[in-house]
Amino acid sequence: MRLIGVAVYSGETPWLRGCVKEFVEGLAEARGRVGVVLGGYRGGMRLVADECISRGIPVVMVIPREYEDYEYPEEAIVVRTGMDVRGRSVVLVRSSDVLVALGGGAGTLMELVTAYSIGRSVVMVTCSGLPTDKFRDAYPDGVVDPRMGMAIRYVGSCREAAAEALRILGLG
Give 38-80 pLDDT, tens digit per residue: 999 999 999 999 999 999 999 999 999 999 999 999 999 999 9
Question: What are the domain boundaries of the chain?
Answer: 2-168
Upper half-sphere CA count for residue 161 (Cβ side, 13 Å): 30
- Round to whole Å and give the CA distance between 146 and 101: 21
- Which CATH number does 2-168 carry? 3.40.50.450
Query: What pLDDT score does 36 carry?
Result: 98
Query: What pLDDT score does 62 carry?
Result: 98
> Averaged over 108-113, what is the pLDDT?
96
Query: Would you call 19 exposed, middle or buried from its count of C-beta atoms within 10 A (0-12, 13-18, 19+)?
Result: buried
Q: What is the model's pTM?
A: 0.96
